[in-house]
Amino acid sequence: MESTTTLIEFGAVILGLGLLGALALRFGISPIPLYLLAGLAFGHGGLVPLATSEEFTAIGAEIGVILLLFTLGLEYTAPELVGTLRTNLPAGLVDLVLNSAPGVATALILGWGPVAAVALGGVTYVTSSGITAKVLADLQWLGNREVPVVLSLLVFEDLTMAVYLPILTAMLAGVSFLAGATTLAIAALTISVILLVALRWGRYVEKFVHSPNQEVLLLKVLGLTVLVAGVAQFLQVSAAVGAFLIGIALSGPLAHEARELVTPLRDLFAAVFFVFFGLHTNPADLPPVLGIAALLAVIGVATKIATGWWAARRAGIGVLGRGRAGAALVPRGEFNIVIAGLAVTAGAHPNLGPLAAAYVLILAVVGPLAARAIEPLYRYLARRQGRPVDPDPSHDPGADPDTAHAAVSHD
């Protein structure tokens, strides 16, 4: 009877997520806030708490994180990753300092302690790669000159997470400095080995995984990804980071086919992941932190827009392109919830989970809306100032005539 109840509950959850996804599509917003709200409704303190399917949902949520980061890794080759680090290091450091500082400062001001401060700094720092990628595609910005700048910042953030997550995990576990340093050294060695394999022997990994049969290919890709993610977690590296690096190792000719096969599974389990986080957040805990979350969200919008503006200007991109770059970086989502989930599980501070949930809910909605508003706002301000809105339609409207020549070398 218990298995029957589990099937009914899980089926109802998946069907409900499908209906929420359809609703999000209709209104042109990210479905992530709706998935989080669904988790809040059916979790502890919600309207109808789930009785039996929570354990199965927890496993699905972990697979969701792994597949999210794996498909993100497929977007980059190892040489591109190394080149990105060299070229965009200054912009990446500005992003890190400017956007982690509000979270760190907030936790320290509230007296939550240094561990919670490090966790909340990570929550406010990372842009949602998933939502940003969807925004770029939906608004047809993928061909714009500012997109490489945006992607380079996302890659830098992901690599920063590869170092940050082992440090956070060690701090949450309360280990000694020596144990923490050992954990970080093991993590760095693991990451280096996987990157070295991706750079030098990636073609052999692809040859091992490749199959003309889609069923066999899917089983190989999924099995290798989950296996390496598990080994990475055993070696004190986040499973998500291990999956990201496997995606990089496979990001050759095989990447397109692997992405098509894995994407439906990723979308299913990612939705389960967001619901799972909501399940562990009591709605009654949200009102006390809503004001702080709203203030952090306002600051987060400003700091991400400033980051994108500065990075795009440094690349010689014009005013509209700078605005688009900044707006594309605003959404927060999957990784922010991952960080908060780690902290909540380890008992960092009881209010950190609700604060992160409220923060992500706000910016997952505001981010795509802000991106849609950039071009109408630009045209409105141009008309108010009596400037031509688009002086040369044959050129990217984000290109500044004064800097267009200088920007060519950055494309």
Identity of the residue numbered 213: N
Measured between alpha carbons, how far is residue 251 from residues 2, 15, 195, 221, 291 in Å? 42, 33, 12, 12, 42
Q: Residue 55 has what pLDDT?
A: 66
Q: Residue 325 has what pLDDT?
A: 93
Quote the tokens at residue 125: 């720092």
Note the pLDDT tens digit of each residue in 277-302.
677 677 777 888 899 999 999 999 99
- 395 within some domain: no
Identity of the residue numbered 271: A
Quote the tokens at residue 80: 């591109």
Least confidently predicted of 105-114, 286-295, 364-373, 398-407? 398-407
Note the pLDDT tens digit of each residue in 180-232.
677 667 767 777 777 777 667 777 788 888 888 889 989 999 998 899 888 87
Question: Residues 6 or more apart from 342 whose CB is under 8 A from it?
Answer: 119, 165, 168, 169, 172
- Confidence (pTM): 0.71
Rounded CA separation 213/271 (Å): 28
The C-alpha angle 278, 283, 287, rounded to 5 degrees, equals 125
Q: Which domain holds residue 310?
A: 7-387
- 394 within some domain: no
- 181 within some domain: yes
- 52 within some domain: yes
Rounded CA separation 209/98 (Å): 41
The tally of domains found in the chain comes to 1
Q: What is the mean pLDDT of residues 315-344?
A: 85
For residues 205 and 72, the model is more confident at: 205
CATH number at residue 182: 1.20.1530.20
Note the pLDDT tens digit of each residue in 135-149.
787 777 877 888 888
Q: Residue 294 has what pLDDT?
A: 95
Place of tokens 């991400």: 304
Residue 355 near residue 285 (C-beta atoms within 8 A): no
Quote the tokens at residue 228: 């390496």
Label residue 305 by pLDDT band (50, 70, 90).
very high
Quote the tokens at residue 405: 């020549």
Place of tokens 């909340």: 120
- 237 within some domain: yes
Q: What phi and psi values does residue 251 have, to the nearest 5 degrees?
A: -85, 50
Label residue 328 by pLDDT band (50, 70, 90).
very high
- 338 within some domain: yes
- Integer-rounded Cα Rg, in Å, for the chain is 21
Question: Residues 6 or more apart from 227 whose CB is under 8 A from it?
Answer: none
- 403 within some domain: no
Q: Residue 76 has what pLDDT?
A: 67
For residues 239 and 176, the model is more confident at: 239
Question: Residues 6 or more apart from 123 whose CB is under 8 A from it?
Answer: 103, 332, 336, 339, 340, 356, 359, 360
DSSP secondary-structure letter at 52? Answer: S
Rounded CA separation 26/226 (Å): 34
The answer, yes or no, to whether residue 333 has pLDDT greater than 80, is: no
- Give the count of beta carbons closer than 10 Å to the beta carbon of residue 253: 10
Residue 79, classified by CB atoms within 10 Å of its CB into exposed (0-12), middle (13-18) or buried (19+), is exposed
For residues 309 and 56, the model is more confident at: 309
- Give the count of beta carbons closer than 10 Å to the beta carbon of residue 387: 10
Rounded CA separation 326/53 (Å): 40
Q: Residue 8 has what pLDDT?
A: 79
Residue 225 near residue 258 (C-beta atoms within 8 A): no
Of all residues in the chain, what percent carry a pLDDT higher than 70? Answer: 81
Q: What is the mean pLDDT of residues 334-353?
A: 78
- 392 within some domain: no
